[in-house]
Chain A
């Protein structure tokens, strides 16, 4: 199998030639890495440069989100700024009741089972549903593609949270035994393994856990694997489903989640607003099927969007406090990776968690990279913060903007924080804004732990 694959594809760097062609067409400076570097290194650098220029086709989307599972309802809510956030009161024993704003999914995960009949965590069940939809949309046939060149790259901040919460509650509260499957259901790569089994993927099957950047990093690392020629196709994305008592209480105690206004709980999350008060915890799973441009062309697939740039780095400053410098470096690196300038980007889907510190740092970093001209919105106001799945969800938001030529607003943003006036950015608020000339979009994910991940998508034509 391995020999056959190598013979067909010409080895692991098979993507080099079409990649180089794309780089030339897009006018990237030749020999950028050349002069002071010794010849062998120059060759390696040139190969890396060529690989970096490659675009990766988006072949399919699938999602389980608070805004729905299909494009129609998803777009309707997204572009109308219609919030899926609701109030939930958490009562645990004799503790004070906790009022929280959450964005749940209408998704039945009761007694969900995997393809080998193992019980599935709610998040894994969502991941499977999302991936199945993405796969169906891609038009790929698991029976005909090279399984050894199909990868799974999946992110989750706290995979298995719902199962762990329920089983620990049973163990400590009711003296009930743990199930023999508990470890397998809650391990961080549970969804990765389930997806690999279900789709017969025999390439790399990797889980990424970097908090709120998890799925963005998963997608970006799969891009790199495809560009490098190690795989042709990947099922990518991420999930989190932790709207369960233990996890909710943990988030509540951090004071980063927004209290739901009694008269309008749906407006709890107000990114960039003067009166912002944090985010609403969401849940969901978002999957994309991505493939090398050459693979897509060879099978005659019509892919409207391409992933064109990715970068990740770490602030290395503080566990939770964001660093505008680190964010700016990540955005610039993603632009460089895509071979684009700041002026090429027509929309930024911000991380925009609506925390005081988070939004301030992000506005500063966006202004540093883009000045005041790029339209920016945070759609967490309507779909909540899906944590490990958030990067994938917000990439899909950016892709929908690209597909529709329409920028979704930051809902509930009436008065931007005056503190931003010194370094203003162009917030999309109120109604969705038409952007028929939109060609390149950028989505940022900035995580606890300091990980920043930035993805850039572009129209294919």
Chain B
């Protein structure tokens, strides 16, 4: 997967969560990426800020085990129509 959405998410994981790029793959679950419950919440906040959206909990519960990055991309694309985040959105998210 090499979509803009996935790449943005991967960038957040790399920058904010210090994950190695090689470890970040669409089929990986958030738990497999080593995010604990608190980190999951922080990650979802960062993603929401980057894409300027709010994901309803009934569409995505970050605490649910087994949630993959690919599924997260689908949810985001479904809400945004694959809109690229605005310039600087990631940087802002990192300091939010």
Contact = CB atoms under 8 A, between A and B. Distances in A.
A180 interface: yes
B96 A177 contact: yes
Given A118-B38, A184-B38, A177 B17 contact: no
| 10 nearest A-B pairs in the assembled complex, by CB-CB distance | A180-B41, A180-B42, A176-B96, A181-B42, A180-B45, A179-B96, A117-B17, A117-B39, A117-B18, A180-B38
B28 to A, nearest CB: 17
A344 interface: no
10 contacts: A111-B16, A113-B18, A116-B36, A117-B18, A117-B39, A176-B49, A176-B96, A177-B45, A177-B49, A177-B96
Interface string A280-320: 00000000000000000000000000000000000000000
Nearest to A181: B42
A184 B38 CA distance: 10
A117 B13 CA distance: 11
B38 A179 contact: no
Interface in B29-43: 36, 38-39, 41-42
B25 interface: no
A325 interface: no
A176 B94 CA distance: 12
Interface residues of B, number: 13
A181 B42 CA distance: 7
Interface string A38-55: 000000000000000000
Given A166-B95, A180-B45, 6 more contacts: A111-B16, A116-B36, A177-B45, A180-B38, A180-B41, A181-B38
B41 to A, nearest CB: 4
A170 interface: yes
A179 B41 CA distance: 9
Interface of B: 16-18, 36, 38-39, 41-42, 45, 49, 94-96
A60 to B, nearest CB: 28
A180 B96 CA distance: 10
Interface in A242-300: none
Interface string A100-122: 00000000000101001110000
Nearest to A113: B18
B24 to A, nearest CB: 15
Interface string A159-191: 000000010001000001101110010000000
Nearest to B44: A180
Contacts of A180: 38, 41-42, 45
Interface of A: 111, 113, 116-118, 166, 170, 176-177, 179-181, 184
Contacts of B39: 117
Contacts of A118: 38
Contact of B94 (A111, A116, A117, A166): A111
A179 B18 contact: no
A333 to B, nearest CB: 44
A175 to B, nearest CB: 11
A179 B17 contact: no
Contacts of B18: 113, 117
Given A117-B17, A117-B18, A179 B94 contact: no
Contacts of B16: 111
Nearest to B46: A179
A275 B60 CA distance: 64
B56 to A, nearest CB: 15
B90 to A, nearest CB: 12
Nearest to B16: A111
B63 to A, nearest CB: 12
A118 B39 CA distance: 8
Contacts of B42: 179-181
Contacts of B94: 111
Contacts of B38: 118, 180-181, 184
A164 B32 CA distance: 32
Contacts of B95: 111, 166
A176 B49 CA distance: 9
A179 B48 CA distance: 12
A181 to B, nearest CB: 6
A170 B93 CA distance: 12
Contacts of A179: 42, 45, 96
A113 B45 CA distance: 17
A111 B15 CA distance: 9
Most buried by B among A113, A117, A166, A181: A117
Given A117-B17, A117-B18, A170 B41 contact: no
Nearest to A180: B41
